[in-house]
Amino acid sequence: MPTLSKRITGIMPSGKDGWEVHFAALTRKQAGEDILMLSVGDHDFDTPAGTVAACVQALERGHHHYIQLAGLPRLRAALAKLSTDCTRLETTPEELIVTQGGQGALFAACQGALDPGDHAILIAPYYATYPGTVRAAGASFTEIEASAERGFEPDPEMIAAAVQPETRMILINSPNNPTGAVYSRETVEAIADICRRHDLWLLSDEVYWTLRGSREHISPRALPGMKDRSLVVNSLSKSHAMTGWRIGWLTGPADFIRHLVSLNIVSSYGMADFVSHAAAEAVEKAYGVAEIAARYRDRRRAFLDAIRHINGVAARGSEGGMYVMLDISAVEPDCEAFAWELLEAEKVAVLPGTSFGAAGGHVRISLCQEEPVLREAAARIGRFIAGRT
């Protein structure tokens, strides 16, 4: 076989994707074992019936063809309104492009803003694809740790100190995967200020914005002087329970977005016609949005309540999104060992924090299960820990 490009082999240099515990657990569950899967960030329920019906109708009406490369105009218009709500800044359809999920938007943003040799700043723990997405643009990155002691909010002074002459971008994510942290206004303002001072892009991943619990969602795009340097990643995957439909979008300056159309031409050649019609209706009618947000809020409360009495674990800064980051350092600093042993002893699948760039001693719990399952998982975790201490 002739050689592969350095670009492709450089995306995941370790060859490990961090999902080893999840896939081992999945194989055993599919073989019939009673394993509680708290390892994956996909809903345990299906897409709302209204969205499914809209898709069937779109198919029956002949929406089977190529569509505009920046996205179906009806969908772009609906997403512009949704972005206006999310960022609290008036957004026009020309300021966004529809992508293959939120991941497509992250990829497009990095391709559009970073050149080989450029540098980006990531906040750890982070969504596991961030390093590879930056590397795919040929750029390098520095990780700034958002510590559990600070409720997983980053220290802006540490970010400012990491800026180099090659730095072009800071990437933030609130509500956060994997920690559940929802950044305060002060934190977002301080990071925006660094971007203004050093002429940087601020890539803000807001895919969990509807799952913000009782907190206010702050998008940097609406802050003074930030409209032309903010790139906002969004998606219907979590908010509208549409993970498998692959509808995301990137909001940014109209000129930046215009250039990204060329990326769609050479990659996806646009989105699926009937899916785009269904997605437009899902957004226009807000199918499921309030119920999904309420469901995750209740699940978070139920899980946090259930683990409160377990000696040796803590969950700090857990306020939004679909996850809880559990501090197990008092029991076992090696979180990979903890995850494998928990799977073996109690048949609960969680992911080690190190899969998300976290310091050791944490595991990520996904709330994508009904409350009784979450309570049962908490009881099994408690029993596992009691057996070790």
Residue 91 or 234 having the CB closest to ligand PLP: 234
Q: Give the end-to-end CA distance of the chain in Å, rounded to a whole number.
A: 53
Residue 71 or 248 having the CB closest to ligand PLP: 248
Nearest to 257 by CA among 78, 114, 113: 113
Residue 272 or 306 having the CB closest to ligand PLP: 272
- Report yes or no: 49 and 242 within 8 Å, Cβ to Cβ: no
Cβ 204 to ligand PLP shortest distance, Å: 11
Residue 78 or 310 having the CB closest to ligand PLP: 78
- Report yes or no: 172 and 206 within 8 Å, Cβ to Cβ: no
**Beta-carbon count within 10 A of 145 CB:** 16
* Extended strands (E) in the chain: 36-37, 96-100, 119-124, 140-145, 167-173, 201-205, 230-235, 247-251, 323-327, 348-349, 351-352, 362-366
Cβ 242 to ligand PLP shortest distance, Å: 8
Cβ 353 to ligand PLP shortest distance, Å: 15
* Residue in the shown chain whose Cβ atom is closest to ligand PLP: 101
Distance from C-alpha of 75 to C-alpha of 79, rounded to nearest angstrom: 6
Cβ 367 to ligand PLP shortest distance, Å: 13
Residue 41 or 93 having the CB closest to ligand PLP: 41
Cβ 206 to ligand PLP shortest distance, Å: 9
Integer angstrom CA distances of residue 51 from 85, 97, 164, 236, 238? 21, 21, 46, 11, 14
The site for ligand PLP (CB under 6 A) is made up of 41, 101-103, 127, 173, 177, 205, 207, 235, 237, 243, 248
**Max Cα-Cα span within the chain:** 63
- Report yes or no: 330 and 365 within 8 Å, Cβ to Cβ: no
Residue 144 or 385 having the CB closest to ligand PLP: 144
Residue with tokens 């898709």: 55
Question: In the Cβ-directed half-sphere of 132, how many Cα atoms lie within 13 Å?
Answer: 17
Cβ 130 to ligand PLP shortest distance, Å: 8
Q: Give the helix ranges, DSSP H, for 90-184.
A: 101-113, 130-135, 156-161
Nearest to 368 by CA among 36, 18, 17: 36
Cβ 10 to ligand PLP shortest distance, Å: 21
Residue 187 or 329 having the CB closest to ligand PLP: 187
Residue 19 or 57 having the CB closest to ligand PLP: 19
Residue 156 or 178 having the CB closest to ligand PLP: 178
Residue 169 or 306 having the CB closest to ligand PLP: 169
- Classified as helix, coil or strand, 67 is coil
Cβ 105 to ligand PLP shortest distance, Å: 8
Cβ 207 to ligand PLP shortest distance, Å: 5
Query: 99: which 2 tokens?
Result: 């992508």
Say which amino acid occupies 249.
Answer: W
User: What b/e sequence results for 245-282 when a residue is b if at least 16 CB atoms lie within 10 Å of its CB, and e otherwise?
Assistant: bbbbbbbbeeebbeebeebbeeeeebbbbbbbbbbbbb
Cβ 360 to ligand PLP shortest distance, Å: 21
